[in-house]
């Protein structure tokens, strides 16, 4: 029976494991529908432990999807999302957008292409739901891997629990940027590498497609993700070469080779733009900033679910015991060691580059977050395979509750992050109180951003102000207007002042120099933006902080 076969497989050393896996493939030709039913939790022959693992995956994935959807729809947008929305607008043709905007950016154009293909989703809040489709595809790819290598099902359950408990999952999933795609690529790539190492072959066509997709996305989403993906694959290739297992080596190498060629071709076009765009870059250099970014990302992985972390530690101990009993049963430790080597190699490479050319911040490391989470999940999966159904149910239930509790907190934190809606809502509230309120914006306040390459930055900020004003239902004065309201306040609105460059006195001085008849202002700072208010009667205005 399948359940008995899997139980025997888990107790055997690697060499026997490979043989049984190949037999499973032959069985699946005749009994494929029944195996599918078993893996999806509806087969009567499926043992209780596997039902628990599959149920945990379903519940964690459903809760995570709801959390991301809620955060997408209730979180205000920030500058980089306005940039994505602008360069993927339906106006320009695909070729024009690729040539003038996507290839001129610092990142490969893959996510922009996905965002353009889904532009029918509408405004930023709903356009973010693209990430749910990405997550669903990643889940299907993971299912293809588990179907081919059922031994990884417990690790899949632990991985979903860790991702649901990690704040970066909801945070990146609720942004119209490529970080969630990188997170999925890192997790799926590590999962695929583990399956390849266990079976020493590419496996079924769906599993091969899952690995190929993970590599393609990993190499062509973000330059930091590319370096991490390549570093993860390299130790597995080296081990395969040292062991002279050339069929395994080819299964590992062909997708990175094809995706790497695509990356190189795109990079040759983008390289001059990278150099121009990052001459005066905003990322802080030095070893301290690199260390902080790496530490922050690693801590988010470790604290995602304390129970799964404890399970991972216990799983490593069990693997050590297995190794002491039988040297042939070392594949689990070997896979963890190769993943760890890949992570360390990637971080060392990124740190070295960062010291010469700053490029490292914590949110660029989401692919590493996915890979580290998978490593923890593999170790915890060994514990889950050792537990009986009763103990496993208690462990998974408690871990699921911890992840759900964390999800609620992460959604609240994500929706409360600084956005353009903070100042936009404040302007709308004042105008609702006094409908004749006038609202002015000025390109001067965002001159540091509009001066940056690519050239699309020139248009993004003005478009963002118009979008927020339309969202809250108030009008903006023309840029050349110097009108002051007679019976209501006059507001001067600025956003994305992330460096807080303008003091109250500097704001007032610029307004006077620009030709506004204003004697005093009151400045209200909200997040990374501010609103300067000139009262209807000058004698009531004060040059003070709120």
pLDDT at residue 12 above 60? no
pLDDT at residue 169 above 60? yes
Q: Cis omega (within 30 of 0) on the bond before 454?
A: yes
Q: What is the mean pLDDT of residues 514-541?
A: 86
Lowest-pLDDT range of 169-173, 217-221, 451-455, 469-473: 451-455
Cα-atom radius of gyration of the chain, to the nearest Å? 27
Alpha-carbon span 157 to 332, nearest angstrom: 17
DSSP code, position 488: S
What is the per-residue pLDDT for 344? 97
Q: How high does pLDDT run on average in the chain?
A: 88
Alpha-carbon span 503 to 525, nearest angstrom: 11
Q: What is the mean pLDDT of residues 275-292?
A: 80
pLDDT at residue 544 above 50? no
Q: What is the mean pLDDT of residues 304-323?
A: 94
Alpha-carbon span 220 to 208, nearest angstrom: 18
Alpha-carbon span 228 to 222, nearest angstrom: 10
What is the per-residue pLDDT for 280? 63
Q: What is the mean pLDDT of residues 247-254?
A: 97
Strands of the sheet containing 522-526, edge to edge, are 438-440, 490-494, 529-534, 522-526
Residues 6 or more apart in contact with residue 541 via CB below 8 angstroms: 518, 519, 520, 521, 522, 533, 534, 535
What is the per-residue pLDDT for 17? 40
Q: What is the pLDDT of residues 322-376, one digit of tens each?
A: 888 877 667 889 999 999 999 999 999 999 999 988 889 999 999 999 999 999 9
pLDDT at residue 394 above 50? yes
Kindly indicate the confidence band of residue 537, based on its pLDDT and cuts at 50, 70 and 90.
low
What does the block give as tokens for 183?
A: 């997170």
What is the per-residue pLDDT for 106? 84
Q: What is the mean pLDDT of residues 182-189?
A: 98
Element (H, E) at 105: none
DSSP one-letter string for 232-276: HHHHHHHHHHHTT-HHHHHHHHHHHHHHHHHHHHHHHHHHHHHHH
% residues pLDDT > 70 (the chain): 88
What is the per-residue pLDDT for 69? 98
Lowest-pLDDT range of 150-154, 313-317, 453-457: 453-457
Query: Interhelix angle for 223-242 vs 205-219, to 10°?
Result: 130
pLDDT at residue 541 above 70? no
Kindly indicate the confidence band of residue 279, based on its pLDDT and cuts at 50, 70 and 90.
low
What is the per-residue pLDDT for 546? 39
What is the per-residue pLDDT for 463? 96
Q: What is the mean pLDDT of residues 155-170?
A: 97
Structure-model confidence comparison of residues 248 and 51, the more confident one: 248
pLDDT at residue 72 above 60? yes
Please choose, from the candidates 369, 117, 109, the residue with its C-alpha nearest in 3D space to the C-alpha of residue 263.
Answer: 109
Q: What is the pLDDT of residues 77-90, one digit of tens each?
A: 999 999 999 999 99
Element (H, E) at 99: none
Q: What is the mean pLDDT of residues 264-284?
A: 81
Q: What is the pTM of this model?
A: 0.88
Q: What is the mean pLDDT of residues 208-237?
A: 97
Structure-model confidence comparison of residues 170 and 498, the more confident one: 170
Instruction: Classify 107 as helix, strand or coil.
Output: coil
Q: What b/e string do you get for 245-254 counting C-beta neighbours within 10 Å, with b at 16 or more?
A: eeebbebbbe
Q: What is the pLDDT of residues 414-447, one digit of tens each?
A: 999 999 999 999 999 999 999 999 999 999 999 9
> Pairing relation of β-strands 529-534 and 438-440?
unpaired
pLDDT at residue 74 above 90? yes
Element (H, E) at 439: strand 438-440
What is the per-residue pLDDT for 282? 74
């Amino acid at each position: 029976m399948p359940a008995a076969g899997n139980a025997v497989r888990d107790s055997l050393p690697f060499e026997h494991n490979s043989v049984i896996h190949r037999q499973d493939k032959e069985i699946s030709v005749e009994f494929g529908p029944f195996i599918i039913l078993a893996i999806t939790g509806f087969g009567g022959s499926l043992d209780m432990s596997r039902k628990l693992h599959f149920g945990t995956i379903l519940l964690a994935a459903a809760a995570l999807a709801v959390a991301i959807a809620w955060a997408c729809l209730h979180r205000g947008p920030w500058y980089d999302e306005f940039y994505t929305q602008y360069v993927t607008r339906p106006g320009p043709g695909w070729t024009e957008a690729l040539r003038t905007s996507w290839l001129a950016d610092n990142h490969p154009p893959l996510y922009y292409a996905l965002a353009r293909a889904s532009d029918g989703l509408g405004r930023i809040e709903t356009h973010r739901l693209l990430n749910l489709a990405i997550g669903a595809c990643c889940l299907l790819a993971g299912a293809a891997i588990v179907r081919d290598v059922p031994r990884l099902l417990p690790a899949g359950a632990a991985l979903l629990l860790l991702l649901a408990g990690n704040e970066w999952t909801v945070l990146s999933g609720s942004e119209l940027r490529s970080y969630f795609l990188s997170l999925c690529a890192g997790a799926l790539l590590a999962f695929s590498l583990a399956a390849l190492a266990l079976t020493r072959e590419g496996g079924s066509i769906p599993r091969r497609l899952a690995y190929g997709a993970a590599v393609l996305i990993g190499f062509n989403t973000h330059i930091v993700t590319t370096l991490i993906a390549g570093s993860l694959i390299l130790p597995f290739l080296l081990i395969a070469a040292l062991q002279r297992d050339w069929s395994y080596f080819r299964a590992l190498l062909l997708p990175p080779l094809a995706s790497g060629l695509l990356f190189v071709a795109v990079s040759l076009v983008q390289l001059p733009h990278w150099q121009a765009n990052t001459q005066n870059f905003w990322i802080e250099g030095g070893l301290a900033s690199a260390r902080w970014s790496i530490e922050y990302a690693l801590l988010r992985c470790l604290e995602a679910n304390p129970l799964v972390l404890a399970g991972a530690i216990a799983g490593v101990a069990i693997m050590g015991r297995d190794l002491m009993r039988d040297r042939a049963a070392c594949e689990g430790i070997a896979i963890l060691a190769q993943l760890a080597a890949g992570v360390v190699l990637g971080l060392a490479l990124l740190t070295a580059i960062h010291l010469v050319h700053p490029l490292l911040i914590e949110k660029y490391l989401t692919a590493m977050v996915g890979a580290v989470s998978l490593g923890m999940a593999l170790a915890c999966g060994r514990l889950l395979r050792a537990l009986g159904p009763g103990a496993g149910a208690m462990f998974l239930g408690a871990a699921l509750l911890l992840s759900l509790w964390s999800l609620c907190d992460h959604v609240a934190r994500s929706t409360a992050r600084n956005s353009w809606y903070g100042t936009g809502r404040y302007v709308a509230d004042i105008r609702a109180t006094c409908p004749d309120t006038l609202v002015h914006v000025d390109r001067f306040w965002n001159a540091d951003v509009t001066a940056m390459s690519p050239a699309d930055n020139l248009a993004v900020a003005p478009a963002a102000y118009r979008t927020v004003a339309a969202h809250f239902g108030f009008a903006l004065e023309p840029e050349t207007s110097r009108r002051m309201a007679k019976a209501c306040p006059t507001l001067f609105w600025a956003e994305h002042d992330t460096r807080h460059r303008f003091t109250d006195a500097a704001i007032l001085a610029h307004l006077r120099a620009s030709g506004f008849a204003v004697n005093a202002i009151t400045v209200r700072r909200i997040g990374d933006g501010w609103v300067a208010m000139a009262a209807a009667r000058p004698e009531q205005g004060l040059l003070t902080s709120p």
